[in-house]
Structure 1
Amino acid sequence: MSNNEYKEIPVTVSGVAIMEKLVLLMLLLAGMCAVASGHFRKYHFVKDGKSWFDAQSYCREKHTDLATIESQEETEKVLNISAGFNNAWIGLYYDKENWQWSNGDNVSYYNWTSSLSCTNVDSKGEWVDSDCYSNRYSFICYNDTRESYILIDQPKTCYEAQQYCRNNYTDLVSIKNNDEDKKIKEKANGNAVWIGLFNNPWKWSHKGEYSSFHNWDKGQPNSVGNNICVEMYGKTDKERGKWNDAGCHFASPFFCYNESCTDASCTKYHFVKTDMNWSAAQTYCRHNYTDLATVHSQEEAKQLSDILNTSTNAWIGMYCDVSENWQWSNGDEVTYNTRRAKLFCATV
């Protein structure tokens, strides 16, 4: 299939087949992101000062838990219900080392001993653990469609580099074996460069899920050994909404939340107008929301139809793997499927 071809999926709404051309491979199109069911949160600000653990107990007794915040949109929701606080607990806490590749690959190859949060290859070609937020290096992106490595000679923090690679290519480079390690060192050509390995030890209080959304203030977290709980700033406009690691025993106000939606039909969709290929759209949705859109029912198909301009194509999360099995990007079972039994290709 060429880069100018696509597969059509009909979305049925109230018995009418809406031929939305939801493209599944390499075209540059807008995308539909989704926030998974159970992630619609009603936040509550509690002014009474408590330690992090007392605040956690209070939230679990009165609501669902200390606040989980997984997007800038949710950050704004939290800030809009509060006023006049300096700092307040949220549900994030330090658990243990959890090294992972930026693109989600399993960490099967190591070349170092680490203690900090992000990884760069130094001028000698050795892996070095480095501060994600204050150090600035060049970096290496990769493009999975062309199987190529790209050296970007622009000093950035690790997360700035990650965002650049995701916006312009696929992601920061991952290294799975010794041969790939040699190729990366050759591409770096003696420069210190970021690669995609980072430590994400921060978990949310509710369900113990690792945080994929980061909103740390500059230079934070800066004292993990003693500060394993996280507060949100409410002071100046510049800092407002940013995170800081702090000692859990300090008495501070805090944010709780309630889950207000648990049924699969409550999935909330977000139409992203920026054109990307499918892999880049998947990465964007996972970073900012939950994943590319899944469709489990006619009700959800109608939600997509209502959001999407019928003259516009947009990615959804369905894809065909190497075994010719159709799957959803988030791993859900394909239980609702109105695509044609015999697929066909067309030219845009």
Structure 2
Amino acid sequence: MMEKVLLSIIAASVLCVVSSHVQHQYHFVYEVKNMTEAQSYCRDKYTDLATIDDMEDVKTLTDMVDLNKMVLDEDGQATVWIGLYDDEQLNSWRWSDRHAEVEFTNWAKGEPNNDGSVEYCTEMYDPGVWNDLRCARTLRAVCSSVRGSDVKFILINTTMNWTEAQSYCRANYTDLATVRNEAENQEVKNLTDGEEVWIGLFKDSWKWSDGSNSSFRYWASGEPNNYAGKKEDCVAMNFNHAGGWEDWNCDQNKPFICYKGIFTPSSSFPETTEQFAEIDPKHKMRVSVKMNSALDLNNPEVMEEVLKQLKQRMKEKGVNEDVKLSWKKQPDGKVFHKEKKKTFCLLSPSHRGRSRCTHVKARPHSNAVDTPKSGDKRPAHQYHFVYEVKNMKEAQSYCRDKYTDLATIDDMEDVKTLTGMMDLNKMVLDEDGQATVWIGLYDDEQLNSWRWSDRHAEVEFKNWKKGQPDNYMSVEHCTMMLTTGKWNDERCDRTLRAVCSSVRGSNVTFILINSTMSWTEAQSYCRANYTDLATVRNEAENQEVKNLTDGEWVWIGLFRDSWKWSDGSNSSFRYWKSGEPNGGKKACVAMNFNRSGGWGDWTCDQNKPFICYKEIVPKHKMRVSVKMNSALDLNNPEVMEEVLKQESFETVVERRTLNKLFSIMDIDQQPLHHTVDRQRRRRRCSAD
């Protein structure tokens, strides 16, 4: 009997997957056209303008786009037409649960009114009546859990926008609540205790150019917005905002994305190779096979057994039986190859052809990961997940006793590292069924400091409106400039236009951005395209920004920051999820791994798993190649000392580091060895 082979999909051999469904082959066209022209072009050359079915398609297009070829829009953004448009003749309300018909409604008097032409989602409020509302507003939500004919409604504690609520309900229950009759309406009303909540009804007059019924939407924050009352009936992807969608006037000229519909063989088609020879889309996966024995993985019987296990796994996951699997041979005729260790070399071009190689050993995620910061004077962090639940104070004490402190997070690389480390199987979920863990950030009630987004600027000039800032409901942490030029504190998730600053020496230019966005999005946009969100240093600059806005409310760069790290770090990095922090007596912060690691504020007495960190002093090892003009003995102590004295070495690392390096490089006490290979003599990098 053949020994069992343990499979995991990582990397080793190539597997081809062929599915008999219509697929999309996307094509970017960087020549700019208006929506009508783009549609005609796509229908003539391909099938139609792009239809996008899911986040996998968004990711595919985000990876495909060549920003160097893009003609940017009037806001300096990389936006491209896709096939979605607003059909004025269609004004349909639909349930998020696509199988449900809209037979019962309970609109408040005068609703829905689509105020400002931006209200596409539905809230329920006391006394159980419905109102159409901007989908970007943050509310609690009611989900439904459907088991056969049994329906259970669940009130979610966290506030989020409608799209986030839909994703949350679909991920954790069945969908956002469908209310089919008066009895269910009363049940939801009783559950909410009169609070405003999202339900699953939404208006969808958006149609795909090719007539597809795809219900997938990926609107950017604050979109669609019919900005400034303009007629914005066509949709573009914005690759400066993770591919998020925006409504635009259809007369704008933009690059665009076409698609070609391609079919793969199935039993309903004649089995002719010519029909599909050029357009058969084969999806390739790399498969790693972990073995407990010395099986020959290139043995046909072994490969067949591996395929059987893969097919069984796919069947268990609900993959259609029309998916065919086959192995792809490599140029040497083999399918499997033993995985080699990888070494990454950082080569310094400044040493006249002498290349230095710094070795970074690749390793799988574990419960302890080092995250050295390039150019950061703070010690590197080795993170440790603790899955035992504690309140914030207990977690802090535990981390300080066993490690250094609760986790400080400096950037998105840290967020990505922690997301990769976390083991969901070990997690104790919170009251909302979410995987949340304490980190070291907390709200210091004694601290109420306002700071500029530009961290180099001091807050010396302020122009608050009378009675402001008032931090209404304890959720107003960002600053907008009003019509009068006065300032007001506001919720950071509100969508407004923004003013960026471009700084060149002592010259400062202010730029008004046409798109509306949250304060955090505005900060990211300004930093990516200019210098930062506007810093207003004096009355003259305040007047300049006021004149630029023509009386419209806009974001400027001032924000309130009473949040501190447990270890006293001054890291200004924040990764709040939408609608957070949302105030009340919630002074401690947790990461939510069901929401891409986004942060939320919580009451500190909640019990949660947590993340500690330990400061580490990373050891850097280098292998050094030495080019000689004579037959010197490089292991002679005097020769090694002379090498250490070379100026090119001492300008790279400290002398004591190199001494240590040469002393520990080889266990035979012969640090330097001759290399026969001429290529390796010029640039030699090999892992220990």
Shorter-chain TM-score bucket reads 0.5 to 0.7
Q: What TM-score do the two structures reach when normalised by structure 2?
A: 0.33
1:227 pairs with 2:221: no
Structure 2 counterpart of 1:248: 250
Aligned equivalent of 2:218, options 215, 219, 228: 215
Structure 2 counterpart of 1:81: 64
Distance 1:87 1:60 in 2: 20
Distance 1:110 1:269, change over 3 A: farther
For residues 79-228 of structure 1, the aligned pairs below 5 Å read 79-84=62-67, 85=70, 86-95=78-87, 96-104=90-98, 105-112=100-107, 113-114=111-112, 115=114, 116-132=119-135, 134-145=136-147, 146-206=150-210, 208-223=211-226, 226-228=231-233
Give 1:255 deviation, angstroms. 0.9
Distance 1:270 1:193 in 2: 44
User: Where does structure 2 lack aligned partners over 5 or more consecutive residues?
Assistant: 1-17, 71-77, 268-279, 286-306, 322-688
SS in 2 for 1:203: strand
Which of structures 1 and 2 has the bigger CA Rg? Answer: 2
Distance 1:180 1:36, change over 3 A: farther
- C-alpha RMSD of matched pairs (Å): 3.0
SS in 1 for 2:59: helix
Whichever residue aligns with residue 74 of structure 1, its letter is D
Structure 2 counterpart of 1:335: none
Aligned equivalent of 1:257, options 250, 259, 279: 259
1:37 pairs with 2:21: yes
Whichever residue aligns with residue 101 of structure 1, its letter is W
Structure showing greater relative contact order (alpha-carbon pairs closer than 8 Å, 6 or more residues apart): 1
SS in 2 for 1:198: strand
2:82 touches 2:257 (CA, 8 Å); kept in 1? yes
How many residue pairs end up in the alignment?
A: 247
SS in 2 for 1:147: strand
Structure 2 counterpart of 1:53: 36
Give 1:240 deviation, angstroms. 3.3
Distance 1:100 1:59, change over 3 A: same
Distance 1:35 1:223 in 2: 40
Structure 1 counterpart of 2:316: 313
User: Where does structure 1 lack aligned partners over 5 or more consecutive residues?
Assistant: 1-33, 272-303, 319-348
CA displacement, residues 295-344 of structure 1 (integer Å, 9 cap, x when unaligned): xxxxxxxxx967444598334689xxxxxxxxxxxxxxxxxxxxxxxxxx
2:35 touches 2:234 (CA, 8 Å); kept in 1? yes
Structure 1 counterpart of 2:51: 68
Q: What TM-score do the two structures reach when normalised by structure 1?
A: 0.64
Distance 1:131 1:163 in 2: 17
For residues 295-306 of structure 1, the aligned pairs below 5 Å read none
Distance 1:75 1:167, change over 3 A: closer
Distance 1:317 1:256, change over 3 A: closer
Distance 1:171 1:240 in 2: 25
Distance 1:226 1:60 in 2: 25
Distance 2:137 2:20 in 1: 34
Structure 2 counterpart of 1:8: none
2:34 touches 2:251 (CA, 8 Å); kept in 1? yes
Structure 1 counterpart of 2:518: none
